[in-house]
Structure 1
Amino acid sequence: MDPKRLSFLLAVARYGSILAAADSLHLTASAVSQQVSRLEKEEGVELLERGPRGVGLTPAGRILVEAAENIERELADARSRLSEAQHGVTGRVVIGAFQTVVSGFLVPILDHLHEALPGLELSIADATSARLPRMLRTGEADLIIVDRDLADTGHTPAHTADVPLLDEPWRLVVPRGSTFDLSGAGLEKLPWLGVAPGGASELPVERAKAALGITPPVVHRYEDFQAALALVQGGLGVTLLPALTVRLGVPEGLDVIDLPGLGSRHLTIRHRSTRREPGAGTRAVVTELVRAAGELDVLGSGD
């Protein structure tokens, strides 16, 4: 089978007639018809249903048109990769993430990303965890960084793919100089802060408490981590914060404790996954983000 002849059949399928296909290819209708006829003879099947109002595809014709489309895509992808190899990756990539990832991870590595990917225009879009998946669906972001526990109900949405980025430990934050009993029984008696319903850390904090085997009463609640820090600083309770938040620094008067059994927040890169995506730029950014996360010291910072 001559792949060049497939391109003639593909043009006829797209434009609906041999004459229109010939115009698009800058050839005569006779030349296009001849190439399709030769393809039919080579394969021993009829590919077109010819009628007074144009032509349609036979079942065999649809099979070969699908093959032609696949070849066309593969060639386009090969050309794109060749261009990358010769000239580097170019274009614009939008990275969506929530506040602590923007502040604690993306901003510190942005210079590295620019140095590693000089041909790319990188844009960071700060958004709530609830809004990030919608940004990916609508094309506002090329990739997003999400908390895997909050991003979905246990499965990756259709036409997307997940890439593990970073397991970020939870840390216990207490007023400085506290003499709390941090044994199993003592943890139950700590003045725990609660997370407001729908707050970004509600589910993981409750999971961490369950892992510790405690169900303490709650007086004060917070929705964002800055409010949590203020409440702890005011001596109103203790709470769990992710390592990236702690890495940004905590106010005076607080101690950060690495307590076994708290678990981690699982940060994940999510991007669209179709025949055309992710593009070269998105693939390159994902690779660099994973590399940077592997070099990040989330355990040794903030204490």
Structure 2
Amino acid sequence: MQIDPRRLSFLLAVARHGGILAAAEALFVTPSAVSQQITRLEREQGVELLDRGPRGVELTASGRVLVEAAENIERELADARRLLAESEGTLTGNVVIGAFQTVIVSILAPMLPELADHLPGIDIDIREIASERLPRSLRAGEANLVILERDLEADEPAPANTREVPLLDEPWRLVVPADSIADVGLPELERLPWLGIAPGGASARAVERVKANLKLSTSTVHSYFDFGSALALVAAGHGVTLLPALAVQGYLPEGVAVIDLPGLGSRRLVVRHRATKREPSAATTAVIEAIVKSVEAMDLSRH
């Protein structure tokens, strides 16, 4: 019996997202709808596609064959759309950008009108994703490109079949209560408590690096994940921390002072995309180029 490509999309979603529940969420359907489509595909082809166990589902050998076929169909359709757009002389398509809050607020959201003017045929979909999940979302095909952060001192190469485009090197800033000290130096940094930071973020690595380089053994109070929470705690006089320049652009809560000190280093933002024979698409490349051009004109000297 012929294979229905529409059913393949459900199997592909299960493979990419790791289970029926996650696939249903990604496809905006019910889990039973996903299960029914895969069961019908198994019945039509006379093979089992999933091993269903107490810990979830895994692809069988036949399942992997059909997932590869589904990926090939997806790529062929993407190529067809690209060729159609090129034949008309206009770039079209949908580009999903994964990013964390600071990048969305300070970079992506403000440039959306400009992107719409310069790339009218491209639909841009911005999705806020936690920093630690961004690489996985790119691998799973949930985004065409993601914007990642890392402490510049701990830079690392991009994984296989991906490529990174440098976007921005922004300095770390010392953020302190405005009325705590008139002039910040090493003795004062040794005396002041530092805010705790949720593990895994670039700021956590940067703070540990600075403390080690300056041989600081200060106490740690509270714990934050979001930069807004950090600013609120600093404004309340409860500690100091490092924040990237983007996080202290524009409005600052009353009671917060931002100080530049030598040796704090920088945070690097990069655009990562898949790099295969068919990717990135012309639309994705155009969006990346537009983002890089816009960021080049930014002024991070204000705080």
Tell me the TM-score normalized by structure 1. 0.68
**Structure 2 residue corresponding to 1:278, chosen from 261, 277, 280:** 280
Instruction: Tell me if the contact between 1:143 and 1:269 (Cα under 8 Å) persists in the aligned partners.
Output: yes
The 5-angstrom pairing of residues 196-235 of structure 1 reads 196-199=198-201, 201-235=203-237
Amino acid at match of 2:108: L
The 5-angstrom pairing of residues 237-252 of structure 1 reads 237-252=239-254
Report the more deviating stretch, 108-117 or 192-201. Answer: 192-201
Instruction: Tell me if the contact between 2:95 and 2:284 (Cα under 8 Å) persists in the aligned partners.
Output: yes
User: For each residue in 1:222-276, what CA deviation from the matched residue of structure 2 results, as whole angstroms up to 9, or x when unmatched?
Assistant: 2221221121111111111111111152212211122222111100000000000
Residues in 2 aligned to 1:218 and 1:137: alpha-carbon distance in whole angstroms: 36
Paired residue secondary structure (2:132): coil
User: Percent identity, aligned pairs only?
Assistant: 55
Q: What's the Cα RMSD here?
A: 2.7
Q: CA deviation at 1:211?
A: 3.7
Paired residue secondary structure (1:226): helix
Instruction: Tell me if the contact between 1:89 and 1:119 (Cα under 8 Å) persists in the aligned partners.
Output: yes
Instruction: Tell me if the contact between 2:197 and 2:225 (Cα under 8 Å) persists in the aligned partners.
Output: yes
Residues in 1 aligned to 2:151 and 2:277: alpha-carbon distance in whole angstroms: 27
Report the more deviating stretch, 93-102 or 217-226. Answer: 217-226
Does residue 127 of structure 1 match 2:115?
Answer: no
* Partner residue, 2:47: none
* Partner residue, 1:101: 103
Q: CA deviation at 1:220?
A: 2.6
* Partner residue, 2:91: 89
Residues in 1 aligned to 2:294 and 2:248: alpha-carbon distance in whole angstroms: 18
Instruction: Tell me if the contact between 1:96 and 1:126 (Cα under 8 Å) persists in the aligned partners.
Output: yes
Q: CA deviation at 1:133?
A: 0.9
Instruction: Tell me if the contact between 2:138 and 2:273 (Cα under 8 Å) persists in the aligned partners.
Output: yes
Amino acid at match of 1:256: V
Residues in 2 aligned to 1:180 and 1:238: alpha-carbon distance in whole angstroms: 14
Amino acid at match of 2:104: V
**Structure 1 residue corresponding to 2:196, chosen from 185, 194, 197:** 194
Q: CA deviation at 1:199?
A: 4.6
Paired residue secondary structure (1:201): helix
Does residue 184 of structure 1 match 2:148?
Answer: no
Structure 1: state its 5+ residue gaps: 1-72
Tell me the TM-score normalized by structure 2. 0.68
Amino acid at match of 1:148: R
Residues in 2 aligned to 1:210 and 1:116: alpha-carbon distance in whole angstroms: 46
The 5-angstrom pairing of residues 292-303 of structure 1 reads 292-300=294-302, 303=303
Kindly tell me the number of residue pairs found equivalent between the two proteins.
226
Q: CA deviation at 1:100?
A: 0.7
